Amino acid sequence: MAIDVQARLGTRFEARAILVGERIDVRGIEPRLAPQLPVIVDVAPAGIAVVVRAGAVVMFGVEAIDAERFITDLGVRVHTRFDKQESERAIVRLAEADGIEPDALTIRQVTVERLQVIGEILAKSVVLARHESEIAAAFQAIEPMALRMKTSPSRLPWKQPDLVRTIGETMLVEQKLVDRVEVLEKPDLLWDEPDLDRFYKRLSDEYELRERYLVLDTKLGVVSRAAQKMLELGQARRALRVEYSIVALIVFEILLAIYELVH
């Protein structure tokens, strides 16, 4: 479907990314404004949206009430809707070159492909933001545990189900980052468009996608290793208790046998 994107959005408009859920099923969403991913569609009455499989929707020139209606209309396509939605805003305006200025993202033409590039970047940014807050909470929970291990090593302050849950959560975040977000992967539409490729790299650097991903990956590793180590310590403590119980039982049986022999 060929449309005049600039006539619809104007030369200055807002882009707003919203993380609506864990995942969005983008298969069969029609009509699309372009065949290549990410999915880009009309939003009535005069806006445009990029819908990303990782759970984000990026709106261009869409009023709040229309954005809410569009997200609601996605219905069962959204898996595990979030009560607290991460969001990010940016102003996009027409300029002499594709780039970034203090007050806006600039594009030399208002095209579907450029909106897809901006949508891809903003979507990845809000997904990373959610994972960053999740891992930050787990990271903060580890610190008091480590202090307790240092000051009171005989009293381990955790429960096995909590540690298993923490390990599971970190594994899920890692799986989502690799399978759905693909932070370090470029969208297919860039391969034959060197200008767009340069624009994508500049936006990726501006939003520090690679750096944030690497920091997140490092924290995931720390949380996972810490939880596993604590789990191992807990299991060792329980095994030691069992061994003590067995020794105590053996000693009791020996003493009982000696008592019976004496009497």
Residue that wins the pLDDT comparison between 191 and 235: 191
Looking at residue 245, its pLDDT comes to 73
Q: What is the mean pLDDT of the chain?
A: 82
Tell me how far apart the alpha carbons of residues 189 and 118 are, in angstroms, rounded to a whole number: 12
What region does 62 belong to: left with phi over 0, alpha with psi -120 to 50, or beta?
beta
Tell me how far apart the alpha carbons of residues 196 and 182 are, in angstroms, rounded to a whole number: 18
Q: For residues 101, 103, 105 and 108, what is the CA-based torsion angle, rounded to 10 degrees? A: -70
Q: How confident is the model at residue 142 (pLDDT cuts 50, 70, 90)?
A: low
Model pLDDT for residues 23-42, shown as the tens digit of each residue: 999 999 999 999 888 999 99
- With tokens 């030691």, the residue in question is 240
- With tokens 């061994």, the residue in question is 243
**Two tokens at 4?**
């005049």
CB atoms within 10 A of CB 4: 8
Tell me how far apart the alpha carbons of residues 92 and 13 are, in angstroms, rounded to a whole number: 5
Q: How confident is the model at residue 134 (pLDDT cuts 50, 70, 90)?
A: confident
Beta strands in the chain (DSSP E): 12-19, 21-24, 39-43, 47-52, 56-60, 78-81, 87-94, 99-101, 104-107
Looking at residue 213, its pLDDT comes to 86
Q: Please compute the mean of the pLDDT values over residues 150-156 and round it to a whole number.
A: 60
Tell me how far apart the alpha carbons of residues 94 and 85 are, in angstroms, rounded to a whole number: 29
81 in Cβ contact with 10 (< 8 Å):
no
68 in Cβ contact with 90 (< 8 Å):
no
**Two tokens at 246?**
């067995």
The three-point CA angle 258-262-263 to 5° equals 120
Tell me how far apart the alpha carbons of residues 208 and 118 are, in angstroms, rounded to a whole number: 14
Entry pTM: 0.77
